Structure 1
Protein backbone atom coordinates (compact mmCIF):
# COMPACT_ATOMS: atom_id res chain seq x y z
CA UNK A 1 0.00 0.00 0.00
CA UNK A 2 2.75 2.46 0.99
CA UNK A 3 6.28 2.39 -0.40
CA UNK A 4 8.88 4.91 0.77
CA UNK A 5 12.23 5.18 -0.99
CA UNK A 6 15.08 7.53 -0.16
CA UNK A 7 12.86 9.77 1.96
CA UNK A 8 14.58 12.89 3.24
CA UNK A 9 12.98 15.60 5.36
CA UNK A 10 14.90 18.81 5.91
CA UNK A 11 14.13 21.87 8.02
CA UNK A 12 16.50 24.56 6.80
CA UNK A 13 20.01 23.25 7.42
CA UNK A 14 18.81 20.38 9.59
CA UNK A 15 18.20 17.04 7.87
CA UNK A 16 15.82 15.21 10.20
CA UNK A 17 15.26 12.17 7.95
CA UNK A 18 18.23 10.90 5.93
CA UNK A 19 17.06 8.59 3.22
CA UNK A 20 14.53 6.07 4.58
CA UNK A 21 13.33 3.00 2.69
CA UNK A 22 10.36 1.10 4.08
CA UNK A 23 7.00 -0.36 3.13
CA UNK A 24 3.58 -0.84 4.69
CA UNK A 25 1.34 -3.56 3.25
CA UNK A 26 -2.43 -3.31 3.22
CA UNK A 27 -3.94 -4.39 6.54
CA UNK A 28 -0.67 -4.17 8.50
CA UNK A 29 0.27 -2.30 11.62
CA UNK A 30 3.85 -1.13 11.14
CA UNK A 31 5.63 0.74 13.93
CA UNK A 32 8.53 3.20 13.82
CA UNK A 33 10.65 3.06 16.97
CA UNK A 34 13.42 5.33 18.12
CA UNK A 35 14.50 7.88 20.70
CA UNK A 36 13.32 11.48 20.69
CA UNK A 37 14.81 13.26 17.69
CA UNK A 38 15.27 10.06 15.68
CA UNK A 39 13.07 11.38 12.85
CA UNK A 40 9.86 9.46 13.49
CA UNK A 41 7.45 12.40 13.62
CA UNK A 42 9.22 14.04 10.69
CA UNK A 43 8.69 10.86 8.68
CA UNK A 44 4.94 10.99 9.31
CA UNK A 45 4.89 14.71 8.54
CA UNK A 46 6.68 14.08 5.25
CA UNK A 47 4.16 11.43 4.24
CA UNK A 48 1.24 13.70 5.18
CA UNK A 49 2.68 16.63 3.23
CA UNK A 50 3.25 18.71 6.37
CA UNK A 51 7.04 18.83 6.07
CA UNK A 52 9.34 19.42 3.06
CA UNK A 53 10.20 15.95 1.73
CA UNK A 54 12.23 14.56 -1.15
CA UNK A 55 12.60 11.03 -2.43
CA UNK A 56 9.65 8.80 -3.31
CA UNK A 57 6.44 8.22 -1.34
CA UNK A 58 4.08 5.98 -3.27
CA UNK A 59 0.61 5.29 -1.91
CA UNK A 60 -1.33 2.79 -3.99
CA UNK A 61 1.07 3.54 -6.86
CA UNK A 62 0.57 7.30 -6.71
CA UNK A 63 3.50 9.54 -5.81
CA UNK A 64 2.70 11.88 -2.92
CA UNK A 65 5.83 14.04 -3.10
CA UNK A 66 4.91 17.63 -3.85
CA UNK A 67 1.19 17.26 -3.09
CA UNK A 68 -0.57 19.58 -0.67
CA UNK A 69 -1.71 18.11 2.66
CA UNK A 70 -5.38 18.39 1.70
CA UNK A 71 -4.75 16.50 -1.55
CA UNK A 72 -2.97 13.76 0.35
CA UNK A 73 -5.89 13.59 2.80
CA UNK A 74 -8.29 13.18 -0.12
CA UNK A 75 -6.34 10.07 -1.11
CA UNK A 76 -7.54 8.41 2.11
CA UNK A 77 -4.57 9.12 4.37
CA UNK A 78 -5.17 10.62 7.82
CA UNK A 79 -2.73 11.78 10.50
CA UNK A 80 -3.47 11.79 14.23
CA UNK A 81 -0.74 14.13 15.48
CA UNK A 82 1.36 13.94 18.60
CA UNK A 83 -0.18 15.86 21.47
CA UNK A 84 -3.76 15.26 20.25
CA UNK A 85 -4.29 18.87 19.04
CA UNK A 86 -8.03 18.88 19.27
CA UNK A 87 -9.78 22.24 18.88
CA UNK A 88 -10.33 23.04 22.56
CA UNK A 89 -12.95 25.79 22.13
CA UNK A 90 -15.11 23.59 19.89
CA UNK A 91 -17.38 20.80 21.07
CA UNK A 92 -16.80 17.12 20.47
CA UNK A 93 -19.54 17.30 17.83
CA UNK A 94 -17.81 20.18 16.03
CA UNK A 95 -14.41 18.48 16.13
CA UNK A 96 -15.90 15.38 14.52
CA UNK A 97 -17.67 17.47 11.90
CA UNK A 98 -14.41 19.13 10.91
CA UNK A 99 -12.76 15.74 10.58
CA UNK A 100 -15.26 14.55 8.03
CA UNK A 101 -16.47 17.72 6.31
CA UNK A 102 -14.09 17.48 3.36
CA UNK A 103 -14.83 13.81 2.70
CA UNK A 104 -18.57 13.35 3.05
CA UNK A 105 -21.85 14.57 1.69
CA UNK A 106 -25.26 14.48 3.32
CA UNK A 107 -26.19 11.29 5.10
CA UNK A 108 -22.78 9.64 4.80
CA UNK A 109 -21.35 12.15 7.27
CA UNK A 110 -24.09 11.33 9.78
CA UNK A 111 -23.49 7.60 9.34
CA UNK A 112 -19.76 7.93 9.90
CA UNK A 113 -20.27 10.13 12.96
CA UNK A 114 -22.64 7.54 14.43
CA UNK A 115 -20.02 4.86 13.79
CA UNK A 116 -17.45 6.92 15.70
CA UNK A 117 -19.81 7.44 18.64
CA UNK A 118 -20.39 3.70 18.76
CA UNK A 119 -16.67 2.98 18.58
CA UNK A 120 -15.89 5.63 21.24
CA UNK A 121 -18.86 5.58 23.69
CA UNK A 122 -17.27 8.24 25.91
CA UNK A 123 -17.56 10.73 23.03
CA UNK A 124 -21.30 10.20 22.89
CA UNK A 125 -21.47 11.09 26.59
CA UNK A 126 -19.32 14.19 26.01
CA UNK A 127 -20.85 15.06 22.64
CA UNK A 128 -21.88 18.65 23.47
CA UNK A 129 -18.90 19.43 25.71
CA UNK A 130 -15.99 21.57 24.63
CA UNK A 131 -12.98 19.46 23.74
CA UNK A 132 -10.73 21.48 26.02
CA UNK A 133 -12.68 20.22 29.03
CA UNK A 134 -12.05 16.55 28.24
CA UNK A 135 -9.44 14.48 30.04
CA UNK A 136 -6.22 13.62 28.23
CA UNK A 137 -7.48 10.14 27.39
CA UNK A 138 -10.80 11.48 26.13
CA UNK A 139 -8.99 14.02 23.96
CA UNK A 140 -6.88 11.22 22.49
CA UNK A 141 -10.02 9.26 21.66
CA UNK A 142 -11.46 12.37 20.03
CA UNK A 143 -8.28 12.97 18.03
CA UNK A 144 -8.35 9.42 16.66
CA UNK A 145 -12.09 9.58 15.98
CA UNK A 146 -11.65 12.90 14.18
CA UNK A 147 -9.03 11.28 11.91
CA UNK A 148 -11.30 8.30 11.27
CA UNK A 149 -14.14 10.61 10.22
CA UNK A 150 -12.39 10.90 6.85
CA UNK A 151 -12.64 7.10 6.46
CA UNK A 152 -8.91 6.68 5.75
CA UNK A 153 -7.39 3.55 4.30
CA UNK A 154 -4.04 4.52 5.87
CA UNK A 155 -3.92 5.99 9.39
CA UNK A 156 -0.73 7.68 10.62
CA UNK A 157 -0.67 7.60 14.43
CA UNK A 158 1.91 9.75 16.24
CA UNK A 159 2.50 8.86 19.91
CA UNK A 160 -1.11 7.93 20.78
CA UNK A 161 -0.25 6.83 24.33
CA UNK A 162 1.89 9.86 25.26
CA UNK A 163 1.03 11.23 28.69
CA UNK A 164 -1.86 8.86 29.34
CA UNK A 165 -2.55 6.81 32.47
CA UNK A 166 -1.76 3.07 32.17
CA UNK A 167 -5.44 2.07 32.14
CA UNK A 168 -6.12 4.47 29.26
CA UNK A 169 -3.02 3.24 27.41
CA UNK A 170 -4.50 -0.28 27.53
CA UNK A 171 -7.73 1.05 26.03
CA UNK A 172 -5.90 2.95 23.28
CA UNK A 173 -3.90 -0.08 22.19
CA UNK A 174 -6.97 -2.31 22.19
CA UNK A 175 -8.59 0.27 19.96
CA UNK A 176 -5.62 0.37 17.56
CA UNK A 177 -5.58 -3.41 17.27
CA UNK A 178 -9.33 -3.32 16.62
CA UNK A 179 -8.91 -0.81 13.79
CA UNK A 180 -6.75 -3.33 11.95
CA UNK A 181 -9.64 -5.79 12.19
CA UNK A 182 -11.78 -3.17 10.44
CA UNK A 183 -9.35 -3.13 7.52
CA UNK A 184 -7.51 0.09 8.35
CA UNK A 185 -3.76 0.05 7.67
CA UNK A 186 -1.72 1.80 10.37
CA UNK A 187 1.73 3.37 10.52
CA UNK A 188 2.40 3.86 14.24
CA UNK A 189 5.00 6.04 15.95
CA UNK A 190 5.14 5.14 19.62
CA UNK A 191 7.58 5.62 22.51
CA UNK A 192 6.10 2.66 24.36
CA UNK A 193 8.03 0.05 22.41
CA UNK A 194 6.70 -2.87 24.44
CA UNK A 195 3.09 -2.09 23.57
CA UNK A 196 3.84 -1.09 19.99
CA UNK A 197 5.71 -4.31 19.19
CA UNK A 198 3.01 -6.35 20.87
CA UNK A 199 0.44 -5.32 18.25
CA UNK A 200 2.69 -4.53 15.26
CA UNK A 201 3.15 -6.89 12.34
CA UNK A 202 6.52 -5.33 11.57
CA UNK A 203 8.73 -2.54 12.84
CA UNK A 204 11.64 -0.29 11.94
CA UNK A 205 14.14 1.23 14.37
CA UNK A 206 15.31 4.77 13.56
CA UNK A 207 18.52 6.32 14.85
CA UNK A 208 19.47 9.86 13.79
CA UNK A 209 17.16 9.82 10.80
CA UNK A 210 18.21 6.42 9.47
CA UNK A 211 16.81 2.91 9.78
CA UNK A 212 19.22 0.71 11.69
CA UNK A 213 17.08 -2.38 12.27
CA UNK A 214 13.88 -3.89 10.92
CA UNK A 215 11.87 -7.05 11.34
CA UNK A 216 8.64 -8.61 12.52
CA UNK A 217 7.21 -7.23 15.73
CA UNK A 218 7.97 -10.33 17.78
CA UNK A 219 11.48 -10.58 16.33
CA UNK A 220 12.30 -7.00 17.27
CA UNK A 221 10.88 -7.54 20.76
CA UNK A 222 13.42 -10.36 21.21
CA UNK A 223 16.33 -8.41 19.69
CA UNK A 224 19.11 -7.69 22.18
CA UNK A 225 19.68 -4.29 20.60
CA UNK A 226 16.05 -3.26 20.88
CA UNK A 227 15.64 -4.70 24.37
CA UNK A 228 18.71 -2.83 25.61
CA UNK A 229 17.67 0.49 24.06
CA UNK A 230 13.87 0.52 24.38
CA UNK A 231 12.60 -2.35 26.51
CA UNK A 232 14.75 -2.00 29.60
CA UNK A 233 11.80 -0.89 31.67
Structure 2
Protein backbone atom coordinates (compact mmCIF):
# COMPACT_ATOMS: atom_id res chain seq x y z
CA UNK A 1 0.00 0.00 0.00
CA UNK A 2 1.34 3.44 -0.96
CA UNK A 3 0.83 6.01 1.81
CA UNK A 4 1.01 9.81 1.75
CA UNK A 5 1.91 11.34 5.11
CA UNK A 6 0.29 14.78 5.40
CA UNK A 7 2.23 16.17 8.33
CA UNK A 8 5.69 14.89 9.13
CA UNK A 9 6.26 15.81 12.75
CA UNK A 10 6.84 13.35 15.58
CA UNK A 11 3.63 11.43 14.88
CA UNK A 12 4.26 11.34 11.14
CA UNK A 13 7.71 9.89 11.67
CA UNK A 14 6.44 7.17 14.02
CA UNK A 15 3.65 6.34 11.55
CA UNK A 16 6.27 6.08 8.81
CA UNK A 17 8.34 3.58 10.79
CA UNK A 18 5.32 1.42 11.63
CA UNK A 19 4.02 1.58 8.04
CA UNK A 20 7.40 0.46 6.68
CA UNK A 21 7.51 -2.37 9.23
CA UNK A 22 4.13 -3.49 7.85
CA UNK A 23 5.58 -3.50 4.29
CA UNK A 24 3.91 -0.31 3.09
CA UNK A 25 5.56 2.39 0.97
CA UNK A 26 5.68 6.12 1.75
CA UNK A 27 5.22 8.21 -1.42
CA UNK A 28 4.86 11.65 0.20
CA UNK A 29 6.13 13.18 3.42
CA UNK A 30 4.47 16.60 3.48
CA UNK A 31 5.66 19.26 5.87
CA UNK A 32 3.81 22.55 6.21
CA UNK A 33 5.85 24.29 3.50
CA UNK A 34 5.84 21.43 0.99
CA UNK A 35 3.55 20.96 -2.00
CA UNK A 36 1.22 18.04 -2.66
CA UNK A 37 3.55 16.66 -5.34
CA UNK A 38 3.43 12.87 -5.18
CA UNK A 39 0.00 12.69 -3.55
CA UNK A 40 -1.56 11.35 -6.74
CA UNK A 41 0.59 8.21 -6.41
CA UNK A 42 -0.88 7.33 -3.00
CA UNK A 43 -3.43 4.62 -2.31
CA UNK A 44 -4.32 6.30 1.00
CA UNK A 45 -3.32 9.38 3.01
CA UNK A 46 -2.77 9.81 6.74
CA UNK A 47 -3.09 13.35 8.11
CA UNK A 48 -1.37 14.35 11.35
CA UNK A 49 -0.72 17.97 10.49
CA UNK A 50 -1.94 21.15 12.18
CA UNK A 51 -5.49 22.50 12.59
CA UNK A 52 -5.06 25.15 9.87
CA UNK A 53 -3.96 22.55 7.29
CA UNK A 54 -6.37 19.69 7.99
CA UNK A 55 -9.36 20.95 5.97
CA UNK A 56 -7.21 21.68 2.91
CA UNK A 57 -5.60 18.25 3.15
CA UNK A 58 -8.94 16.47 3.44
CA UNK A 59 -10.45 18.32 0.47
CA UNK A 60 -7.39 17.68 -1.67
CA UNK A 61 -7.54 13.94 -1.00
CA UNK A 62 -11.29 13.74 -1.56
CA UNK A 63 -10.90 15.60 -4.86
CA UNK A 64 -8.27 13.07 -5.97
CA UNK A 65 -10.38 10.12 -4.74
CA UNK A 66 -7.67 9.15 -2.25
CA UNK A 67 -9.05 7.79 1.04
CA UNK A 68 -7.85 9.90 3.96
CA UNK A 69 -7.42 9.06 7.63
CA UNK A 70 -7.23 12.22 9.76
CA UNK A 71 -5.94 12.39 13.32
CA UNK A 72 -5.44 16.16 13.46
CA UNK A 73 -7.56 17.86 16.13
CA UNK A 74 -8.52 21.48 16.73
CA UNK A 75 -10.51 21.99 13.50
CA UNK A 76 -13.76 20.19 14.36
CA UNK A 77 -15.99 23.22 13.83
CA UNK A 78 -15.65 22.29 10.13
CA UNK A 79 -16.15 18.53 10.59
CA UNK A 80 -19.76 18.63 9.35
CA UNK A 81 -18.66 20.54 6.28
CA UNK A 82 -16.02 17.89 5.53
CA UNK A 83 -18.54 15.07 5.96
CA UNK A 84 -20.86 16.73 3.43
CA UNK A 85 -17.97 17.40 1.05
CA UNK A 86 -16.82 13.79 1.18
CA UNK A 87 -20.30 12.37 0.64
CA UNK A 88 -20.98 14.77 -2.22
CA UNK A 89 -17.73 13.78 -3.95
CA UNK A 90 -18.19 10.08 -3.09
CA UNK A 91 -14.83 9.98 -1.34
CA UNK A 92 -13.56 8.17 1.73
CA UNK A 93 -12.81 9.97 4.99
CA UNK A 94 -12.13 8.73 8.50
CA UNK A 95 -11.57 11.08 11.42
CA UNK A 96 -10.38 9.88 14.80
CA UNK A 97 -9.66 12.03 17.82
CA UNK A 98 -7.51 9.13 19.00
CA UNK A 99 -6.47 5.98 17.13
CA UNK A 100 -5.24 4.00 20.12
CA UNK A 101 -7.03 0.67 20.64
CA UNK A 102 -7.02 1.28 24.40
CA UNK A 103 -8.53 4.74 24.06
CA UNK A 104 -11.31 3.48 21.79
CA UNK A 105 -12.15 0.83 24.38
CA UNK A 106 -12.05 3.66 26.94
CA UNK A 107 -14.56 5.61 24.82
CA UNK A 108 -16.95 2.65 24.95
CA UNK A 109 -16.50 2.29 28.71
CA UNK A 110 -17.14 6.02 29.12
CA UNK A 111 -20.44 5.79 27.24
CA UNK A 112 -21.60 2.78 29.25
CA UNK A 113 -20.71 4.48 32.53
CA UNK A 114 -22.57 7.64 31.45
CA UNK A 115 -25.71 5.57 30.81
CA UNK A 116 -25.49 4.13 34.32
CA UNK A 117 -24.68 7.42 36.06
CA UNK A 118 -27.50 9.26 34.31
CA UNK A 119 -29.87 7.86 36.95
CA UNK A 120 -27.88 9.21 39.89
CA UNK A 121 -28.22 12.97 40.14
CA UNK A 122 -26.05 13.20 43.26
CA UNK A 123 -22.95 12.76 41.07
CA UNK A 124 -21.37 15.53 39.01
CA UNK A 125 -19.10 14.64 36.09
CA UNK A 126 -15.84 16.29 35.06
CA UNK A 127 -12.99 15.49 32.64
CA UNK A 128 -9.25 16.06 32.97
CA UNK A 129 -6.73 15.76 30.15
CA UNK A 130 -2.95 16.10 30.41
CA UNK A 131 -0.69 16.46 27.35
CA UNK A 132 2.79 17.58 26.35
CA UNK A 133 3.44 21.30 26.07
CA UNK A 134 3.77 21.14 22.26
CA UNK A 135 0.09 20.26 21.81
CA UNK A 136 -1.56 23.13 19.95
CA UNK A 137 -5.23 22.67 20.85
CA UNK A 138 -7.09 22.54 24.15
CA UNK A 139 -9.03 20.61 25.16
CA UNK A 140 -7.75 17.57 23.33
CA UNK A 141 -9.86 15.89 20.68
CA UNK A 142 -9.96 12.84 22.92
CA UNK A 143 -11.42 14.88 25.78
CA UNK A 144 -14.04 16.32 23.43
CA UNK A 145 -14.97 12.80 22.28
CA UNK A 146 -15.32 11.75 25.92
CA UNK A 147 -17.57 14.74 26.59
CA UNK A 148 -19.67 13.98 23.51
CA UNK A 149 -20.07 10.39 24.68
CA UNK A 150 -21.37 11.60 28.04
CA UNK A 151 -23.68 14.19 26.46
CA UNK A 152 -25.22 11.55 24.18
CA UNK A 153 -26.06 9.37 27.17
CA UNK A 154 -27.02 11.84 29.92
CA UNK A 155 -28.73 15.14 30.71
CA UNK A 156 -25.56 17.17 30.01
CA UNK A 157 -25.79 19.44 26.97
CA UNK A 158 -22.28 20.86 26.40
CA UNK A 159 -18.70 20.97 27.68
CA UNK A 160 -16.67 23.97 28.80
CA UNK A 161 -13.13 24.96 29.74
CA UNK A 162 -14.56 27.62 32.03
CA UNK A 163 -16.46 27.29 35.27
CA UNK A 164 -19.33 24.94 34.49
CA UNK A 165 -22.94 26.04 34.62
CA UNK A 166 -25.92 23.70 34.99
CA UNK A 167 -25.83 21.05 32.27
CA UNK A 168 -22.18 21.69 31.35
CA UNK A 169 -19.24 19.29 31.67
CA UNK A 170 -16.08 20.99 32.93
CA UNK A 171 -12.86 19.99 31.19
CA UNK A 172 -9.48 20.74 32.77
CA UNK A 173 -6.74 20.87 30.09
CA UNK A 174 -3.26 20.59 31.63
CA UNK A 175 0.04 20.86 29.75
CA UNK A 176 3.22 19.21 31.08
CA UNK A 177 6.53 18.21 29.54
CA UNK A 178 6.76 14.77 27.90
CA UNK A 179 3.21 13.55 28.54
CA UNK A 180 1.83 11.59 25.53
CA UNK A 181 -1.74 11.79 26.85
CA UNK A 182 -3.66 11.05 30.04
CA UNK A 183 -7.45 11.29 30.24
CA UNK A 184 -9.67 10.89 33.30
CA UNK A 185 -13.42 11.04 33.79
CA UNK A 186 -14.62 11.74 37.34
CA UNK A 187 -18.05 11.33 38.92
CA UNK A 188 -18.07 13.14 42.28
CA UNK A 189 -20.65 13.08 45.04
CA UNK A 190 -20.56 14.27 48.63
CA UNK A 191 -19.54 10.80 49.82
CA UNK A 192 -17.34 9.29 47.10
CA UNK A 193 -15.76 9.53 43.66
CA UNK A 194 -15.82 7.19 40.68
CA UNK A 195 -12.93 7.55 38.22
CA UNK A 196 -12.03 5.93 34.91
CA UNK A 197 -8.65 6.75 33.40
CA UNK A 198 -6.53 6.05 30.35
CA UNK A 199 -2.78 6.72 30.36
CA UNK A 200 -0.71 6.51 27.18
CA UNK A 201 2.90 5.48 27.81
CA UNK A 202 4.07 6.59 24.33
CA UNK A 203 2.76 7.48 20.87
CA UNK A 204 3.16 4.00 19.40
CA UNK A 205 -0.47 3.04 19.97
CA UNK A 206 -1.74 6.17 18.22
CA UNK A 207 0.50 5.54 15.20
CA UNK A 208 -0.30 1.83 14.89
CA UNK A 209 -4.03 2.55 15.06
CA UNK A 210 -3.71 5.15 12.30
CA UNK A 211 -1.94 2.67 10.01
CA UNK A 212 -4.53 -0.01 10.76
CA UNK A 213 -7.28 2.52 9.93
CA UNK A 214 -5.53 3.33 6.64
CA UNK A 215 -5.36 -0.37 5.78
CA UNK A 216 -9.05 -0.72 6.63
CA UNK A 217 -10.35 2.25 4.60
CA UNK A 218 -8.58 1.24 1.38
CA UNK A 219 -11.10 0.76 -1.47
CA UNK A 220 -14.02 1.99 0.67
CA UNK A 221 -16.36 4.95 0.12
CA UNK A 222 -18.05 7.00 2.82
CA UNK A 223 -17.41 8.62 6.18
CA UNK A 224 -16.13 6.42 8.98
CA UNK A 225 -14.72 6.35 12.51
CA UNK A 226 -12.63 4.01 14.62
CA UNK A 227 -15.87 2.37 15.72
CA UNK A 228 -16.10 1.02 12.17
CA UNK A 229 -12.47 -0.07 12.06
CA UNK A 230 -12.68 -1.91 15.39
CA UNK A 231 -16.25 -3.15 14.82
CA UNK A 232 -17.49 -1.40 17.96
CA UNK A 233 -20.75 -0.06 16.51
CA UNK A 234 -23.78 -1.45 18.27
TM-score, with length taken from structure 1? 0.27
Higher-Rg member (1/2): 2
